[in-house]
Amino acid sequence: MSNKYIPTIGIETHVQLATKSKLFCSCSNDAREAAPNTLVCPVCMGFPGTLPVLNHQAIRLALRAGLALNGEIAGETQFDRKNYFYPDLPKGYQITQMDHPIVGKGSVEFPLNGSTIKVGITRAHLEEDAGKLTHPPGADYSLVDLNRTGTPLLEIVSEPEMHTAAEAKAYAQEVHSLMRYAGVSDADLYHGNMRFDVNVSVALEGDRGTRTETKNLNSFKAVERTVEYEVKRQSELLEKGEKIAQETRGWDEAKGKTFSQRSKEEAHDYRYFPEPDLPPVVVTGEMLAEAKRDLPMMPNEIRSSLSKAGIGIRDQETLVGDPQAAILLLRISKESPQYTEFAVNWLLGDRIRLQDETGKDLGHAGVHEGSISYVASMVSDGRLSSTNAKALLESLWNEGIGMSENDKAKWRGNLAANISSKVEEQGLLQVSDSGALEEIAAQVIKDNHKIVGDYRAGNERALQALVGQVMKASKGQANPAMVGDILKQKLEK
Ligand code: ZN
Ligand code: MN
């Protein structure tokens, strides 16, 4: 297939806001474990005569999201009715925002293959979710669950200015990170907290294509594969001289294909009009200041700080996905830059294993920037082997899990003494006393005729076997670099 067709991609992202209750009633917003139709009330079931009451927490979260998207925040925002009939929408209309969205133009910037991509945001607006329909196989009816009806969503609309599947996927990942960092959403893709609608068209340079919209994708991989599939499908049609139908499509994960759902001929006229039951919301300077204050360090700030600390691009991306570790590392690199490398290795190695094994994260376990730096200092002055450093951090990790915050603070206040007694108690101190090491080395040479013979016959690797024997004899406490030197000296005599 020739690549003379240029793809144009835009993405609409629905983000479920992490409020306790729904957008316009006090029903719970956590439908994950609930039986169908148990989180409902007359408001979200659309009974006549009920009135919506706006959940102000949704406004606070939308403001934070808007700042994370570098968006222009509206001074005044207004809700509208979008009228259509569908069995999962009991009111017969969705409350959304048309003319006065809470967030206007913004942008998302992220690294991709060594360069920086900037994608414009057209707008982001608040709206309520609809219910969920299931169609039991073979049945002549459908089931409706209204638990999700009224769930607050922020719909983020990108400009159609992406051109590759890789860009589309990276954009989706970045929006996901931004929403998670801003604490706006649990952003749990498995539970549908974020869904992507992907618009794709292809055209010859200078031409405009006809776009299709593939709806409700719930993984980054599906976004990438949908774009790849649509670009290929549309290019092949154009190549055969056929027309692209402007339509809504779905994604079949098992087949790896998009399929037609409904064509534009059936497009609705939504008859939008301002929601008469909700007054406009004025966004005050105070509300904006609060949103700014609540916003932590964002992914791009973390990237540039990590890069200044000398962390490579791959480790940067891993750490961006792991904010706790990233923040900890940045503290270490600021206070004790010489231990940055030790800290990166531990945080991206052993720490991940400990986290998986104990089900606790850095916030709950007993290791903090001070203890990591202190252990690193013991390695660098030869008091701890790197193996024993890991063992020590592991015991600190486990010990901290049961401690109260108060006890942890006390323990940290007396860090050096506490770590030293731990090292002594567990016999972790590295032996760098050459007299003691010489004695063990002499014994090992005496006991291992065959290996010694191999080494003398020119097998360099035999030396490592002897170092291993000395390490074993010293119960892991010998300084391996010193042992190597001592053995060499003795064997060359
Ligand atoms: Zn309700
Ligand atoms: Mn929407």
pLDDT at 299: 95
**How many Å lie between the centroid of ligand 1 and the Cα of residue 26?**
6
Q: Of the bound ligands, which one is closest to the alpha carbon of residue 39? A: 1
Our CA angle for 108, 21, 217, nearest 5°, is 45
Distance CA 74, CA 281 (A): 10
Mean pLDDT of the chain: 93
What would the pLDDT profile of 454-485 be if each residue is shown by its tens digit? 998 888 889 999 999 998 888 778 888 888 99
pTM of the model: 0.82
What would the pLDDT profile of 64-121 be if each residue is shown by its tens digit? 999 999 999 999 999 999 999 999 999 999 999 999 999 999 999 999 998 999 999 9
What would the pLDDT profile of 343-399 be if each residue is shown by its tens digit? 999 999 999 999 999 998 888 887 899 999 999 999 998 888 888 899 999 999 998
**How many Å lie between the centroid of ligand 2 and the Cα of residue 141?**
26
Distance CA 384, CA 381 (A): 8
**How many Å lie between the centroid of ligand 2 and the Cα of residue 124?**
10
**How many Å lie between the centroid of ligand 2 and the Cα of residue 228?**
24
**How many Å lie between the centroid of ligand 2 and the Cα of residue 195?**
10
**How many Å lie between the centroid of ligand 2 and the Cα of residue 403?**
46
**How many Å lie between the centroid of ligand 1 and the Cα of residue 92?**
16
Residue 12 has pLDDT above 90, yes or no: yes
Q: Of the bound ligands, which one is closest to the alpha carbon of residue 38? A: 1
Residues above pLDDT 70, as percent of the chain: 99
**How many Å lie between the centroid of ligand 1 and the Cα of residue 337?**
53
**How many Å lie between the centroid of ligand 2 and the Cα of residue 10?**
14
**How many Å lie between the centroid of ligand 2 and the Cα of residue 321?**
27
Distance CA 325, CA 44 (A): 40
Residue 433 pLDDT class (50, 70, 90 cuts): confident
What would the pLDDT profile of 264-321 be if each residue is shown by its tens digit? 655 568 999 999 999 999 999 999 999 999 899 999 999 999 999 999 989 999 999 8
Residues 6+ apart with CB under 8 A from 206: none
**How many Å lie between the centroid of ligand 1 and the Cα of residue 59?**
18
Is the CB of residue 346 less than 8 Å from the CB of residue 393? Answer: yes
What would the pLDDT profile of 311-329 be if each residue is shown by its tens digit? 998 999 999 988 889 999 9
pLDDT at 266: 55
Residue 1 has pLDDT above 60, yes or no: no
Is the CB of residue 92 less than 8 Å from the CB of residue 83? Answer: yes
**How many Å lie between the centroid of ligand 1 and the Cα of residue 473?**
70
**How many Å lie between the centroid of ligand 1 and the Cα of residue 44?**
4
Strand partners for 11? 198
**How many Å lie between the centroid of ligand 1 and the Cα of residue 405?**
38
**How many Å lie between the centroid of ligand 1 and the Cα of residue 181?**
28
Is the CB of residue 267 less than 8 Å from the CB of residue 239? Answer: no
**How many Å lie between the centroid of ligand 1 and the Cα of residue 270?**
24
**Sheet containing strand 80-83, strands side by side:** 93-96, 80-83, 273-274
**How many Å lie between the centroid of ligand 2 and the Cα of residue 298?**
26
Kindly write down the DSSP assignment for every residue of 221-290, as one continuous string: HHHHHHHHHHHHHHHHHHHTTPPPP-EEEEEETTTTEEEEEEEGGG------EE-TTS--EE--HHHHHH
- CA–centroid distance for 416 within its chain: 35
Distance CA 440, CA 437 (A): 5
Is the CB of residue 152 less than 8 Å from the CB of residue 19? Answer: yes
Q: Of the bound ligands, which one is closest to the alpha carbon of residue 44? A: 1
Stretch (H or E) spanning 357: helix 350-358
Q: Of the bound ligands, which one is closest to the alpha carbon of residue 153? A: 2
- CA–centroid distance for 136 within its chain: 34
**How many Å lie between the centroid of ligand 1 and the Cα of residue 41?**
4
**How many Å lie between the centroid of ligand 1 and the Cα of residue 166?**
40
427: alpha, beta or left, given left = phi > 0 and alpha = psi -120 to 50? left
Q: Of the bound ligands, which one is closest to the alpha carbon of residue 37? A: 1
Residue 339 has pLDDT above 60, yes or no: yes
